[in-house]
Amino acid sequence: MKAHLILMLKYPLPGAVKTRLIPALGQQRACELYRSLAHHTLREARQFAANESAELVARVANAPNEDAVRQWLGEGVCFQHQGEGHLGRRMERAVQAAFAEGATSVMVIGADCPRLTSALMESAARELDRKDIVLGPAADGGYYLIGLRRFLPELFGDISWGSEAVLEQTLAAAKKARVQWGLLETLPDLDLPEDLHLWAQSQPARDVGAGRISIIIPTLNEACDLPRTLEAAQHGQPHEIIVVDGGSRDVTVDIARSRDAIVLVVPRCRAERLNRGVAVASGEYLLFLHADTVLPVGYTGNIPALLGKPGVVGGAFTFAIAGAFAGRRLVQRATNWRARHWQFPYGDQALFLRREMFARLGGFPEMPIMEDYEFVRRLRRLGRIAIATDAAVTSGRRWQRLGWMRTTLVNRAVILAYHLGVSPVRLAGWYRGQTARRSSDASPSPDAPIIVGINQPARRSHL
């Protein structure tokens, strides 16, 4: 007789697994994420089974056929169908069958917890040496593990499965049955879009993203320019494209989803959207891209090459503007001179850096304006910012609407006021008023970036 470890799994079919993540990831990406979670859980379970000489059983729902399941799970795993009924009924059936086969103890786990390890399973086994049951509490009110030394059907009956009361009700049932229980550490499950950072922080996700590029694009009503931006970005086959929308009233979100981007909705300032995008990104390199900026062909080769040079802590692309207007060449030359000689590129040059450097900087300062200016100012204190010879081409709509001279003067005034200590909240309101369309149906864009054409950035810091 030996201990049994039961994995409650779903066969990975797009649209049938991780359904609450589909609005953010789409059906295919949600399915791929579930596959990765299941692979991680299975690997840890194999390690536990080997260390504890336990029987490893996979109870699989929605299995098309045995061959498909065995090809998915690999060797050394006993496969059984979950059968019908709610989750509690299916777990009860699995536990009852294991004890009927002579198991000395039974543990049941799912594939929703990226932080569940073989060491934690071994801790649960040690706890079962002293207690009748052991539970691994999940942060959402459920549990990620349950272990028993004998069959207790009352733990699976009158429970509100899928609710925040699962753990509480299970403990109440255990108390009523007069059994002793032990609790493991509380861990979060990965079920909702706001949980995606859990996977991004896990080692399996970082392994997959090693050497790859995550692109983060903040958006707000960018349906006109976003298709071109996404098309150019996708040509480089990055690890992932993450669109973080601020509550668009047009079809921006639909466009992003239709082009296989990860989509988050964060109705806050652009800096917070950028930071939230990084939180769910798993690539080794981070590229911050404006929704109206088109990346050059071959950009994915530029990034690791430049960041691999000694002393380089970040980078950006050469600045170029699409469309014709008076002063365009002057703005381009001045901006590129500033970026190369003063080491001061801004967001519409597509800033990039390694993930660990972003963490060292503490992310973008969460203020309503000047976040990329302040971010670059901090970054350049740590080393050199490399400028790629290839150009990222940004929309000329701001200069065409306001004129290059007015755009430059407004930006110069904002920079000066910022260094004089004017509140970013006041600056944001003034800037948007200055750059708004002079028409009855116009509204200023809270995502309008600060672009300095010919002014030298002030060198005094008030950090």
pLDDT in tens, 192-206: 998 999 999 888 888
**Mean pLDDT, residues 359-367:** 92
Q: How far is CA 141 from CA 16, 22, 76, 108, 301, in A?
A: 23, 22, 33, 17, 45
Reported as a pLDDT band with limits 50, 70 and 90, residue 460 is: very low
Using only the alpha carbons of the chain, give its radius of gyration: 27
Contact between 162 and 110 under an 8 Å Cβ cutoff? The reply is: no
SS (H, E, C) 16-77: CCCHHHHHHHHHHHHHHHHHHHHHHHHHHHHHHHHHHCCEEEEEEECCCCHHHHHHHHCCCC
Encoding tokens for residue 223?
A: 């349906």
Contact 69, 20 (CB under 8 A): no
- Going by pLDDT thresholds of 50, 70 and 90, the confidence category of residue 171 is very high
Q: Which residue has the tokens 């081409």?
A: 393
Separation between Cα atoms, residue 206 and residue 212, nearest integer Å: 10
Task: Return the structure tokens found at 28.
Answer: 């295919």
Q: Which residue has the higher pLDDT, 162 or 411?
A: 162
Per-residue confidence band for 407, with pLDDT thresholds at 50, 70 and 90: confident
| Helical H segments across 293-361, by residue range | 299-307, 328-341, 355-361
Distance CA 25, CA 195 (A): 12
The total of other beta-carbon atoms located within 10 Å of residue 80's CB is 16
Residues 6+ apart with CB under 8 A from 4: 54, 55, 57, 98, 101, 103, 105, 106, 107
For residues 20 and 191, is the Cβ–Cβ distance under 8 A? yes
Lowest-confidence segment of 153-157, 259-263, 395-399 by average pLDDT:
395-399
CATH 3.90.550.10-classified regions of the chain: 4-183, 210-435
In the prediction, which pLDDT does 459 show? Answer: 33
Average pLDDT, the chain: 88
136-174 residues labelled b (16+ CB within 10 A) or e (exposed): bbbebebbbbbbbbebbeebbeebeeeeeebbebbbebb
Could you give the 3-state DSSP secondary structure of residue 124?
Answer: helix
Question: Phi/psi at 60 (nearest 5 deg)?
Answer: -115, 130
- pLDDT at residue 328 is higher than 90: no
pLDDT at residue 458 tops 70: no
- The pLDDT value recorded for residue 285 is 97
Pairing of strands 213-219, 384-394: unpaired
Under 8 Å between Cβ of 102 and 125:
no
Question: Burial letters for 234-264: b for 16+ Cβ neighbours within 10 Å, e otherwise?
Answer: eebebbbbbbbbbebeeebbebbbebebbbb
Q: HSE of 1 in the Cβ direction (CA atoms, 13 Å)?
A: 10
Within a 10 A sphere around the Cβ of 42, how many other Cβ atoms? 20
- For residue 343, is it left (φ>0), alpha (ψ between -120 and 50) or beta? left
CATH class of 210-435: alpha beta
Label residue 453 by pLDDT band (50, 70, 90): very low
Q: pTM to 2 decimals? A: 0.84
CATH number of 4-183: 3.90.550.10
The tokens for 256 are 């992003």
What per-residue string of b and e applies to 25-39 under the rule 16 or more CB within 10 Å gives b?
A: bbbebbbbbbebbbb
Distance of CA 418 to the CA centre of its chain: 31
User: Is residue 463 scored above 70 in pLDDT?
Assistant: no
Q: So what's the pLDDT on residue 1?
A: 62
The pLDDT assigned to 435 comes to: 64
Residues 6+ apart with CB under 8 A from 75: none
Q: How confident is the model at residue 456 (pLDDT cuts 50, 70, 90)?
A: very low
